[in-house]
Structures are given as C-alpha cells and as structure tokens.
Structure 1
Amino acid sequence: MASWSAIARRARVPLGFVFAILYFWLAQPTVKSILIGTTLVILGLMIRAVASGQLQKNQQLATEGPYAYTRNPLYLGSLILSVGFALAARSWWIVGGILLLFFAIYLPVIRAEEVFLRERFPQFEDYARRVPRLFPRVSADRNSGAFSWDLYWKHREYNATLGAAAMLVALVAKMLRWP
C-alpha cells in the first residue's frame, strides 16, 4: 500500500484543480480584498521565482539564496500566494481549505522530499540542523548565491505566474459579475 506522502504527491495537482473550482464558487471578492490579496500573491510568486532560479534539482543541494533562510522556499512561496488568494476571495471556507490542503498534502510531500535529500546528499543533515524547514530565519545561513534565469525557465516557474494571473482575472470578473 502506498504511503500517505506518495498519495499526497500524486494528488496535489488534481486536488488543486478541484480546489480552484470550489474557490471560484465560494469567492466573494471586493476591490479591497483583491488588492490586498494580490500583494501577497505577488510576494509568493517572487519568492518562488527566486527559489526556482537557484535550484539545480537532483544535481546539488540548494543552500544559497532563499535556501539559506528556509529549506523549502518554493512551498513557502506557495503558502504565501495561497493566503493571498484566500484574502482576495474573502472567504473563511477558502482559508480553511488552504490550511487543510497545506497540512494534509504539502507537509507530507516536504517530509518525503527530505528523505530523498538525506539519501542523495550527505550534507543535508547538517543543512537541516541549521536552516528551518519552512518558516524562514531572520538572517541567512550563507551567501546569497546567484540567480539563474536559465534555471527559472527550465523549471517552468512562469507557469505559476500565468496561473496566478488567470485566477486573479477570473476573480475580478466574478467581482464584476461577468459574464
């Protein structure tokens, strides 16, 4: 039988689509909620972009840039942009759904990824002792490292920006009661 983390890893994208449908059904946006939420969405996207531009998946352990503050800046960025969408939608049901999805899906995936990283990179254990799992430390563990647009494009992080923009446009359309 598959572990919960394996199930969570496979389920996170399809569940995201189901959640998006529920999101638009439950959303009650206003101009103010969209502006406040969009600020956090942009912050989350920026964190994800910078993290993606530093990550060389399965080649070397990422410990610089945002990875010097948190071991999981991509998930932190996703959490922040999700909270931004919840604020934009102005629905406590959505806030609850985001928190439920994050703790039921993303935390097990993070743990499973850490098992892989421990096996792949012997230095991960020391890194894990110095740098927090999710919520960042105030000062960096190391130098900032260099951002690479090539890595950003390779990891197709632009899809997060396109998806976020589409969701925000749909939210504005709902607010305006269109179509």
Structure 2
Amino acid sequence: MTTLARASRLRIPLSRAFAASLIAVLLFNGSYWDSKGMMLGDLLTTVGLGLIGIATVGRLWCNAYIVGYKNNVLLMSGPYSVSRNPLYFFSSLGAVGVGLMSESLTVTATIALLFVATYRAVIRAEEQRLEGLHGDTWRQYVARVPRFWPKLSQLEEPERYTIHPQQFRRHLFDALWFTWAAGIMLLIETLHDSGILTVLWHAP
C-alpha cells in the first residue's frame, strides 16, 4: 500500500483521535483574552460560529450531490463544478471555526496546520484514484476546476437532481458534526464560567 493510500485510509481514525485530544485540551483551557479584559474573545467566537454555519450548509450541499454517487460517477456539477474537493474546503472552514470558538489563536493555528498536514495527502490519494477510474474525463475536469479554493463564477447546477434519501440521512451526522462541536464549545465555556470545570491555562 502506498503512503498516499495509507493516509486516505487513516483519515477518519486520525480525525477522531485529534477531535478527542482537542476536547481534552479545551476542557481546561480558558479564554486568554477574557482574562486580560479584552473583547477579542467574543469576536473570535462570533467569527467561529459564522464559519461553522457556512461549513454545515456547505457540507449538506455537497452530500446532497455525492451520496449514492461517489464510487459510480465523476461528479462535476453543483459544488463540484467550483471545486474538486468542496467537502474538504467546507470542512476546513468548520475546523477553523471550532478553533476560533476556543478563543485561542494558538489552538486555531494548530488545527489549521494539522488539517493541512492530514488532508493534503488524502486529497492527492483520492485524485490518483479518480484519475485511474475516469482517465481523460478526469484530466479535462482537472484543467477546468480548481483543486481546493472554489471558483464561484463557474457554478453549474442542473434543474433536477436525484437524491438518495436513505443514504443521505445516514450521512447527516457527518454533515452536522461542526454544529455539534460548536454546542460542545459553548457548553465547555459555560462550565468554566460556572466554576464546574477548573481552568488550568490560558492559551493566547
């Protein structure tokens, strides 16, 4: 098995392990900015919630197109007409949003760097697989659509699109993960403010 293929297979367990580690850290991390009497913490939380909202809607949009089709056809419409990896793009926004809700720029930067380190190899592995499956069609798609950052000016959507409702419902958990993460972050903040959880450090 190649290194790229191994990275792709480890994506989900690595993501879950990192999420568990992050929660463990944030349980005892207080807002550095609040401790200094600064309002920056509230601004970071607001921006973080906005990014999580965009990420959740974006991931639902992507899932509406990809669920039931991922292993059968090359998706080139909807979100896949503006980015070859829209799910990962929206996930990156959600990950940064969760980091900002911690009110720590250090935590946010760590999340962003780990996301890049993990998903860069995953994207390359998946693109190699798609090239092997779809050949020239894939290469023409690559020439037209950017790998990551969306090019909204070339959005193409059909008037009708068949969604697989049962499979879509099973993928809702993944699409809404960042929304629930925001709830967890707010709960941790409430537990800190009430004194139920002791703050051990303040990461800026």
TM-score (norm 2): 0.75
- Measured in 2, the distance between the counterparts of 1:140 and 1:23 equals 40
Q: Closer, same or farther in 2 for the Cα pair 1:119/1:133, shift >3 Å?
A: same
Q: Which amino acid aligns with 1:115?
A: Q
Match of 2:178 among 145, 155, 164: 164
- The amino acid of 1:148's aligned partner reads I
1:100/1:26 CA distance change after superposition, 3 Å:
farther
1:19 to 22, 30, 44: 22
Structure 2 counterpart SS, 1:134: coil
The partner residue of 1:111 within 124, 129, 136 is 124
What is aligned with 1:78?
91
For 1:33, the equivalent position in structure 2 comes to 44
| Aligned-pair CA distance for 1:31 | 4.7
- Residue 152 of structure 1 corresponds to 168
**8 Å CA contact 1:50, 1:147 repeated in 2:** no
Matched, 1:136 2:136: no
Q: Deviations over 1:122-151 (max 9, x none)?
A: 21111011100000113125x313373625
1:89-141 CA-partner distances (Å, limit 9, x unpaired): 11122122122212210010000000000011121111011100000113125
Q: How many residues align?
A: 176
5+ residue gaps, structure 2: 35-40, 197-204
Q: Unmatched 5+ residue regions in structure 1?
A: none
d(CA) in 1 for partners of 2:23, 2:89:
19
Which residue is 1:101 aligned to?
Answer: 114
Aligned-CA RMSD value: 2.4
| TM-score, normalised via structure 1 length | 0.84
- Residues 1:45 and 2:60 aligned together: no
CA distance in 2, matches of 1:49, 1:57: 15
